[in-house]
Chains A and B, each alone.
Chain A
C-alpha cells in the first residue's frame, strides 16, 4: 500500500530520524498553514496524491510571493492530478538546494535481498538517469548494516563529495532502517538534496515515496485505512461483491473488478483466472469483468457473485472457466450456486436468453455438477456448451468466440 507523502513524513521518516524540510499538511487553508507560511521566506506547495510525476503535471509549485500562497494552495489542494483527486496539500520550507541525489531501497529479485540504489544525479525521473550513473549496494546480510559499509560503497563508486561521506552514509543507513523497520516494499527519496543553511550544508529528504508490504506483520490498511488501487471509485457491483466475503471465511468469491466489455468472466483460481482472461483478450473478446473465485466457497457465495456478474448491462456472452480444482466442489458452486441464480433471475424476468455460454470446469464432483448445470440450462432456455477438462482451459475463451460469431454475429476486437 502506497502512503501519501505527509503520512510517510509523519509516521516513518520522523521515527527513523531521516532529515526532512519543515512542513505542514492540510486539506484546506487554515491558520496552521497561514502561521507556517508567515515564518518562511518561501515555500513549496505540493498536491497530495498517490500518483507519481507530480512535478511534470504542475502539481508542485514554489511560491516566494506570499500574496499568492492562498490561491496556489487552494488550487493544488483540490485539483486532479492524472485523474486522481488531491486530498489536500503539503506546504514545505523552500530549501536552498546545492545538489540533488537519488536514493531508494527496495527488494531486488536478482539478488533476493534488499538493495540500496543511489545516484549522484537525482532530481529527474529515475528512468531518465543514465543507468551507468546508478549504483546498487546489496544488503546480503540483513543482521548488520553499518555506515562504514555504505562509505566503502560510496568510495568504491567514486562519490565526488568527500566532505559528505560521513553524514550521507548515516542518512542512508537511517533510510535503510526505515525501509526495514516499517516493512516497506519500496522507500524512495528523489531528490535527496544537499541544502545550504548559512555557511553549513545539510542533507534533506525533499520527497518521500513509501510503499508498504500489504502482508506486513501489522496490516497497513488497519493503520492508514484501506485504499482502492483502481484510481477510481468502486462501482456499486464491486462494492456489493466485497460484502460477499465479509464475515465468512469459507472460500473466496468477492474479488470482482469491472471493465468496459460485453463478456462476463466467471473464472476460478488466481493463475487460472489470469490465463483465461488473458486468452480471452488475445482472442479479441471484450471482457466485462475479472473474477478470481476459489477455496471452495459455499453455494450462497456463488449465488451472490453470479447475480452480480450477470447484472452488468450490455453483456453478450458468459465464460465460466476454471482448471481442475483440488478443493472446490463443482456440484456446490456450479450445480447449486450458479444454477439457483439462473433459476431465480429467469423467474424474475431478469435473465437474458440471448447470452451465449461456454462452461469449462473440472474438480471434485464435476460429473454431477456439470450435469446439474446442464439441466438448469435446459429448463431456463439458456444456450451454451459445457466441457470438462478434456478441453484445455485456455481453449474455452476461443470456443466462446467461435460460438458468438456464429450465433450472435459478434465482432471480436482486432488485437495486434
Chain B
C-alpha cells in the first residue's frame, strides 16, 4: 500500500452532502487534480443528478450496491450541516465505510461524543469534526486542503504535518517546502473538544512507516491532546523527531474573557493552557527527539536541529526581500 491508513492508493471517496456549494467545488477541484479519486456523491433527493463529474445517489446504500462504483468506496467525506453530521456518520458506518472525514464545523459536542463512542465500538477511523482533510502528495488528497493549486504548499517528502487548524496545515507545509522539506502527509485533525483522531492516534498509526522522517505538530490551548503526545513519547510509543508549536501563550496574558481563535476545549486541571502543553512536551524533549518552537517559524529550525534530512534544496534565503517597498 502506498500512503497511510488515512489516505492511500486504494482510497475511493464518497462525498456526503455532495451537491452543496463547498462540496461540489471540492469534487470538481479534486477531479481536476487527481482524476478518479472521488467516486460518488450522496444527496437525498438529487439521486441521478448529472451536475457533478461523479454519479450522485439518494442514499449511501444505493451507492455501495452500485455495480460500477460500489466496491471502490471506502472513504467518506462529510459536508452536511452540523445537526445532520451524526446521521451522516451512522449512515457511513452502517454501510461499511471505515474511514470518515468530518469537514463540518460546529458539530454539537453531544453528537461528537456519540460519534466517538460508535467509532470505538466499530473500529473505524474518523477525522474531525472541523477537519480540512488530508494530503499525501504521492497519492492524492481528501477534501479542500491546499485549494486549487496545492503544488505551492505540497511536494513529496518525509515530514508529517498534524494540525488542529486547517489553514496552518497548508501554511506549515509551504514553509517547509520552501526550506527544503517535503510533506509525506498533512492531516488537519480539527480543534473540536471531542476529537475523533488526535495527534497521538496519528503517531501510533505512522510510527512504523519508514517514509516518516519527522513530525511537525501545531497545537492550541484547550483539552489535553497535545499533552497526550508527550505521554505517548515518554512511554516509548513514538521515537521519531517531533517539532511542535503551541499557539495561545499570549491568551494567558489577555484580560479575562478575551477569547480568540478556535474555541478549544475547556482548560482542565493542570492541563489545557499553552504553557502546560509546552512544559510537558519540553519534558519529553529531555529524553527524546522533541523540540518546541518558540516562534511558529522556528519550526523549521527545530526540524533541522533534530537532524531530519532535507528532501530537496532550500529555495529561499534567511533574508527574504519584499515584492514591493514604498519606503
Chain A residue at smallest Cβ distance from B298:
A394
Bound CA span A387–B178, Å: 15
Q: Is the CB of B148 within 8 A of A364?
A: yes
- Give the chain A neighbours of B147 by CB distance below 8 A: 324-327, 363-364
Q: Is the CB of B261 within 8 A of A107?
A: no
User: Is A20 interfacial (CB 8 A cutoff)?
Assistant: no
Bound CA span A230–B256, Å: 8
Q: Is the CB of A391 within 8 A of B320?
A: yes
User: Is B1 interfacial (CB 8 A cutoff)?
Assistant: no
**One of A63-71, A93-101, A180-188 at the interface:** A180-188
User: Is A386 interfacial (CB 8 A cutoff)?
Assistant: yes
Chain A residue at smallest Cβ distance from B225:
A109
Identify which of A140, A274, A323 contacts B247 (C-beta below 8 A).
A274
User: Is A147 interfacial (CB 8 A cutoff)?
Assistant: no
Bits for A359-382, please: 1 = Cβ < 8 Å to B, else 0: 000111000001100100110001
- Give the chain B neighbours of A391 by CB distance below 8 A: 320, 322
User: Is B175 interfacial (CB 8 A cutoff)?
Assistant: yes
User: Is B30 interfacial (CB 8 A cutoff)?
Assistant: no
Please report whether the interface of chain B is mostly helix, strand, loop or mixed according to DSSP: loop
Q: Is the CB of A109 within 8 A of B265?
A: yes
Bound CA span A167–B105, Å: 40
Please report whether the interface of chain A is mostly helix, strand, loop or mixed according to DSSP: mixed
Chain A CB within 10 Å — which of B228, B297, B322, B325 has the most? Answer: B322
Q: Is the CB of B225 within 8 A of A383?
A: no
Bits for B268-296, please: 1 = Cβ < 8 Å to A, else 0: 11010000000000000000000000111
Q: Is the CB of A107 within 8 A of B269?
A: no
**One of B53-61, B160-168, B206-214 at the interface:** B160-168
Given A112-B194, A290-B260, A390-B316, decide whether A271 and B163 contact each other with a Cβ distance below 8 A.
yes
- Give the chain B neighbours of A108 by CB distance below 8 A: 268
User: Is A229 interfacial (CB 8 A cutoff)?
Assistant: yes
**One of B37-45, B69-77, B106-114 at the interface:** B106-114
User: Is B125 interfacial (CB 8 A cutoff)?
Assistant: no
Bound CA span A378–B249, Å: 37
Given A216-B110, A229-B259, A387-B320, decide whether A393 and B171 contact each other with a Cβ distance below 8 A.
yes
Given A324-B174, A326-B147, A383-B327, decide whether A393 and B296 contact each other with a Cβ distance below 8 A.
yes
Chain B residue at smallest Cβ distance from A83:
B256
Q: Is the CB of B117 within 8 A of A387?
A: no
Q: Is the CB of B171 within 8 A of A272?
A: yes
Chain B residue at smallest Cβ distance from A272:
B167
Bound CA span A378–B325, Å: 9
Kindly identify, within residues 175 to 194 of chain A, every residue whose CB is under 8 Å from any CB belonging to chain B.
Answer: 180, 183, 185-186
Given A110-B224, A180-B110, A231-B255, decide whether A387 and B323 contact each other with a Cβ distance below 8 A.
yes
- Give the chain B neighbours of A378 by CB distance below 8 A: 326
Q: Is the CB of B296 within 8 A of A386?
A: no
Q: Is the CB of A271 within 8 A of B247?
A: yes
User: Is A75 interfacial (CB 8 A cutoff)?
Assistant: no
Shortest Cβ distance from residue B154 to the other chain A in the assembled complex, whole angstroms: 11
Bound CA span A94–B148, Å: 66
Q: Is the CB of B326 within 8 A of A383?
A: yes
- Give the chain B neighbours of A126 by CB distance below 8 A: 269
Bits for A325-346, please: 1 = Cβ < 8 Å to B, else 0: 1110000000000000000000
- Give the chain B neighbours of A114 by CB distance below 8 A: 113
**One of A158-166, A277-285, A302-310 at the interface:** A277-285
Shortest Cβ distance from residue A34 to the other chain B in the assembled complex, whole angstroms: 35
Q: Is the CB of A278 within 8 A of B247?
A: yes
Q: Which residues of B contact A (CB under 8 A)?
A: 82-83, 106-111, 113-114, 116-117, 132, 144-148, 152-153, 163-168, 170-171, 174-175, 178, 193-195, 218, 220, 223-225, 228, 245, 247-250, 253-263, 265-266, 268-269, 271, 294-297, 300, 316, 320, 322-327
What are 23 A-B pairs with beta-carbon distances under 8 A?
A: A108-B268, A109-B223, A141-B117, A142-B117, A186-B266, A213-B110, A216-B108, A259-B258, A270-B165, A271-B220, A273-B261, A277-B260, A278-B248, A292-B260, A294-B167, A327-B147, A364-B147, A377-B326, A385-B322, A385-B326, A386-B322, A388-B323, A389-B178
Give me the 4 closest cross-chain CB pairs, A-B, nearest first: A271-B165, A326-B147, A323-B171, A109-B223
